[in-house]
Amino acid sequence: MKILAIESSCDETAVAVVEDGRKILSDCIASQVEIHKTYGGVVPEIASRKHIEAISALADEALEAAGITRKDIDAVAVTYAPGLIGAVLVGVNFAKAAAFTLGVPLIPVHHIRGHIAANYLAYPDLEPPFLCLVVSGGHTMIVHVKDYTDMEILGGTRDDAAGECFDKVARMLDMPYPGGAALDRAAQTGDDKKYALPRPKADGNPYDLSFSGLKTAAINLIHHAEQVGEELDIPSLCASYAATVSEMLVPRTMAALEETGCKTLAIAGGVAANSRIRGDFERECAKKKIRLCMPPLSLCGDNGAMIGAQGYYEYLAGNVADQTLNAYATKSILGEAL
């Protein structure tokens, strides 16, 4: 089954063709990063307008790169939530028109379920159940993936997402948007023990996290250095910050693996590209004999292929939409009825 998959929830317009949920036939992206860089973050209206401009040509490009034509498409999958509402609406509207004119099923896909499904593309033999740590610009959660469309959230952030914090601190250090990758690069030559940063705990659920205190502590440290004219060791600050985020994520995830008895861990989302987090999981999972799935960097960030992968399993589960499908800025990954 060949699925045309559309993703437009933030600042990347992405269209892919995916076969049977596992094989990428094409994966095209029109990134808006250069435009939003000027503003230090995503400007929602500009994002929507750029999606509108890019999406049709990108769909043609995806078909051509896959070596197929419109009549070979069996279904259209689309991110329908969550994201910048104007941006998501562009993709949803395009997908509805495509499904309508092609006369094929329309499959709504939750963006975060898509991130998890990037692992099905990278690891063709991976099947639920497994545990997944989702770390993106807007989400941080530990998910028990019981089946392709049956999930339980074991815990997550109570405030900011991990990616948001990386971006905010990077911005304070005058790194270009989106700062996570730049901060990661700067950290490579730093001393991860030079700056002591707090690891705030959230009361109650042991798998819950709170990042806002860490973010504020890093920002205060930068402000203070500016005020007293102290020169910061930027690589070491970046290394200490990445180490702290990792030390908040890794032990909680390992504890959740133990409690659920899952023998496989997948990581997903833009922050799953972070070298410190990847390295720490590699070490811990090797120690505990846990299979670790980490998509290549190209499948960690937003892409269309992940939507096509999850779309296939949503289709098999009967989760298709009609032409009344709407877009949602927020929606739980648990997927209440449409």
> Which positions lie near ligand KG4, rule CB under 6 A?
10, 115, 136-138, 163, 166-167, 178-181, 184, 269-271, 273-274, 301-302
Residues in contact with Zn ion, shown as a per-residue x/- string from 286 to 315 under the rule CB under 5 A = ----------------x-------------
Q: How far is the CB of 21 from ligand KG4 (least distance, A)?
A: 20
Q: Which is nearer to ligand KG4, 179 or 304 (CB)?
A: 179
- End-to-end, the C-alpha distance of the chain in Å comes to 23
Q: Which is nearer to ligand KG4, 86 or 269 (CB)?
A: 269
CA distances to 179, 186, 188, 251 from 239, rounded to whole Å, are 14, 8, 7, 18
Q: How far is the CB of 84 from Zn ion (least distance, A)?
A: 11
Query: Torsions phi, psi of 17, nearest 5?
Result: -120, 125
Q: Residue 138: name its binding partner from Zn ion, ligand KG4, none (Cβ under 5 to 8 Å by kind).
A: ligand KG4
Q: Which is nearer to ligand KG4, 96 or 278 (CB)?
A: 278
Three-class HEC string of 186-224: HHCCCCCCCCCCCCCECCCCCCCECCHHHHHHHHHHHHH
Q: Residue 80: name its binding partner from Zn ion, ligand KG4, none (Cβ under 5 to 8 Å by kind).
A: none
Is residue 289 packed enough to be buried (19+ CB in 10 Å), middle (13-18) or exposed (0-12)?
A: exposed
Parallel, antiparallel, or unpaired for β 264-268 and 291-293? parallel
The first and second tokens of residue 37, run together, are: 């860089």
Q: Residue 167: name its binding partner from ligand KG4, Zn ion, none (Cβ under 5 to 8 Å by kind).
A: ligand KG4
Residues in contact with Zn ion, shown as a per-residue x/- string from 118 to 137 under the rule CB under 5 A = ------------------x-
Q: Which is nearer to ligand KG4, 86 or 163 (CB)?
A: 163
Give the side-chain half-sphere CA count within 13 A for 182. Answer: 15
CB 79, CB 16: distance < 8 Å: no
Cβ-closest residue to ligand KG4? 270
CB 106, CB 112: distance < 8 Å: no
Residues in contact with Zn ion, shown as a per-residue x/- string from 134 to 173 under the rule CB under 5 A = --x-------------------------------------
User: How many angstroms separate the CA atoms of 7 and 109, rounded?
Assistant: 9
Taking Cα atoms as reference points, which of 4, 30, 95 lies closest to residue 323?
95
Q: Does residue 11 belong to the site contacting Zn ion (CB under 5 A)? A: no
Q: Which is nearer to Zn ion, 190 or 269 (CB)?
A: 269
Q: How far is the CB of 10 from ligand KG4 (least distance, A)?
A: 6
Q: How far is the CB of 269 from ligand KG4 (least distance, A)?
A: 4
User: How many angstroms separate the CA atoms of 161 and 135, rounded?
Assistant: 7
The first and second tokens of residue 228, run together, are: 């007293």
Q: What does the binding site for Zn ion look like in residue numbers (CB under 5 A)? A: 136, 302
